[in-house]
A and B are shown apart, each in its own frame.
Chain A
Amino acid sequence: MFTRIVWLVLRKDLMVEIRSLEIAYTTIFFAVSCVLVFAFALVQEGRAPTDGAAGILWIAIAFSGTLALGRTFERERQAETLKALLLAPAARPAIYVGKLLGIIGLMAVTEIVLVPLVSLFFQAPFFTRPLWLAAVLLSGTIGFAAVGTLFAAMLVRARTRDVLLPVLLYPITVPVIIAGVRATAALLQPDLDAGIIQFWVALLVCFDVVFVTLALWTFEPVMTD
């Protein structure tokens, strides 16, 4: 039953998105402009700053992720469909997981565009260890999206939701960003130290477990009036 509701919510979100591609297009374009701004600001005389790529990648992911979160729930709010979703006789945690998977999918698509772009502009050898990179990106994205989905859902009712989402989200997800940046920076080192990357990925997985558990636990009381 739980997985069925998750699948239904996810399928609904994907279907709405695929028909218009509104959020995917705007988020990807925003992420690309973000990287371009960094490139204009930091690349001088054709030389990118050393060790900058990891930070820039994660800033672009965090910014575009925030945009995607805001837009996803704005769509639910305008049509009052979130209320309908919550009225449905379905377990609240299942609704949360369905929304979360949709956001993770959207962020993953953005990352597929972002990684080659950052790699190109900042001369970062991201693709020498693709499996490690995928592990870091996936665990970081889950942590960021887990908190983001809960907060964006909570803020649907708040008046100043557009400005409050980043204000609330960034202080909480800073550890995820730190761990993601450190792990990515370790990946870019010429001689790979697997121990360091393993430590940061393990920490990211810990964050994921804690954040998802907390979100599942609080989604029900927070979304009940």
Chain B
Amino acid sequence: MPKWFVPLAVVCAVMFAVSPVLIANAPYESTMGLVQKIFYVHLPSAWVFLLGAIVCGIASARFLFKGDPRQDRLAWAAAELVVVFGIITLVTGPLWARKAWGVWWQWDVRLTSSLMGWMVSVAYLLLRQFGGPGSEKLAAGLALFGMANVPFIYISVNYWRTIHPTTSVVPTLPTSFGLPLWFSAIAFLLLFVLLLRMRVRLEEQRATLDTLYLSADA
């Protein structure tokens, strides 16, 4: 493990311990009240979810055209994290929506594209798991298509009624709301980096073990 891993893990743990206090002390939003606080978990996990998808897509492209197995391991690790953070996003979203919109789910552009992005990453993992030998290239191709989809679903936003809060909300937040949000976002980002590093390391060791077995056979 790199030197920065343990200190960063400690920082991340402390941040996750402190962030509920910050969230609890943040003022109530005037119209939504208590339920708005879920936003401090929903938004950071959604950001990390998208970040993971981008990491997976870029690493897949580099693997496909350069053939570097390290990029492939990175893509796999990122895809697993996309599934995890996607679940957090897709569970916290409806919890808030039930209170704010009165329904659990809407076939809104933002929701549909998130769900599809999440499904592509699940399909990616299924392919890695059950595809057998040679599936890593197929998975890389899938990840590329998955990444290409995202902007297109956003285009149809104009022709679709959307009720999801827009991205313009974040920069205009007052400090009392912004501080816990950014604190929580950094904590999630650290968690993502740590988990990614740990997962890549597991794959690296697996690869080393495989080469050891092969050299022992020879």
A and B interact physically: yes
A170 to chain B, nearest CB (A): 8
Residues of B within 8 A of A154 (CB): 137-138, 141
If the complex has contacts A174-B116, A196-B159, are A168 and B142 also in contact, measured as CB distance less than 8 A? yes
Contact check, B134 vs A211: say whether CB atoms are below 8 A apart.
no
A-B CB pair tally, cutoff 8 Å: 84
B65 to chain A, nearest CB (A): 6
Q: Which of A106-122 contact B (CB under 8 A)?
A: none
A58 close to chain B: CB less than 8 A: no
Chain B contacts to A: CB under 8 angstroms: 64-65, 112, 116, 119-120, 123, 126-127, 130-135, 137-138, 140-142, 144-146, 148-149, 152-153, 155-156, 159
A207 close to chain B: CB less than 8 A: yes
Q: Can you offer 21 A-B residue contacts whose CB atoms are under 8 A?
A: A150-B141, A151-B141, A154-B137, A155-B138, A157-B132, A158-B134, A159-B131, A160-B132, A164-B130, A167-B126, A167-B127, A171-B116, A171-B146, A172-B149, A175-B153, A206-B155, A210-B152, A211-B148, A218-B144, A222-B138, A222-B141
Residues of A within 8 A of B145 (CB): 147, 172, 211, 214
A199 close to chain B: CB less than 8 A: yes
Residues of B within 8 A of A159 (CB): 130-132
A221 close to chain B: CB less than 8 A: yes
Residues of B within 8 A of A191 (CB): none
A80 close to chain B: CB less than 8 A: no
Q: Which of B64, B119, B132, B146 contacts A158 (CB 8 A)?
A: B132
Contact check, A222 vs B155: say whether CB atoms are below 8 A apart.
no
Contact check, B159 vs A214: say whether CB atoms are below 8 A apart.
no
Q: How distant is the Cα of A221 from the Cα of B63 in the complex, in angstroms? A: 10
Interface bracket on A: 20 to 34
Q: Is the interface of B mostly helix, strand, loop or mixed?
A: helix
Residues of A within 8 A of B153 (CB): 175
Closest residue of chain A to B152 (Cβ to Cβ) is A175
Residues of B within 8 A of A150 (CB): 141
Residues of B within 8 A of A174 (CB): 116
Residues of B within 8 A of A182 (CB): 159
Residues of A within 8 A of B120 (CB): 171-172
A45 close to chain B: CB less than 8 A: no
A34 to chain B, nearest CB (A): 22
Residues of B within 8 A of A214 (CB): 144-145, 148
If the complex has contacts A157-B134, A199-B159, are A167 and B123 also in contact, measured as CB distance less than 8 A? yes
Residues of A within 8 A of B159 (CB): 182, 196, 199-200
If the complex has contacts A158-B138, A160-B131, are A203 and B123 also in contact, measured as CB distance less than 8 A? no
Closest residue of chain B to A146 (Cβ to Cβ) is B145
Q: Which of A130-174 contact B (CB under 8 A)?
A: 147, 150-151, 154-155, 157-160, 163-164, 167-168, 171-172, 174
Rank and list the top 5 A-B pairs by shortest CB-CB distance, nearest first.
Answer: A159-B132, A171-B119, A154-B138, A158-B131, A171-B120
Q: How distant is the Cα of A106 from the Cα of B158 in the complex, in angstroms? A: 34
Q: Which of B116, B119, B137 contacts A222 (CB 8 A)?
A: B137
Q: How distant is the Cα of A151 from the Cα of B156 in the complex, in angstroms? A: 25
Contact check, A172 vs B146: say whether CB atoms are below 8 A apart.
yes
A86 to chain B, nearest CB (A): 14
If the complex has contacts A164-B126, A196-B159, are A206 and B135 also in contact, measured as CB distance less than 8 A? no
Contact check, A210 vs B148: say whether CB atoms are below 8 A apart.
yes
Q: How distant is the Cα of A39 from the Cα of B148 in the complex, in angstroms? A: 36
Mask: chain A, 164-192; 1 = CB below 8 Å from B; 0 = not: 10011001101100110010000000000
Q: Which of B130, B142, B148 contacts A160 (CB 8 A)?
A: B130
Residues of B within 8 A of A147 (CB): 145
Q: How distant is the Cα of A128 from the Cα of B44 in the complex, in angstroms? A: 50
Closest residue of chain B to A168 (Cβ to Cβ) is B123
Residues of A within 8 A of B140 (CB): 222
Mask: chain A, 81-120; 1 = CB below 8 Å from B; 0 = not: 0000000000000000000000000000000000000000
Q: A171-B146, A203-B155, A210-B152 are in contact. List 15 more A-B contacts (CB 8 A).
A: A154-B137, A158-B135, A158-B138, A159-B130, A159-B131, A160-B132, A164-B130, A167-B127, A171-B119, A171-B123, A178-B156, A203-B156, A214-B148, A218-B64, A221-B64
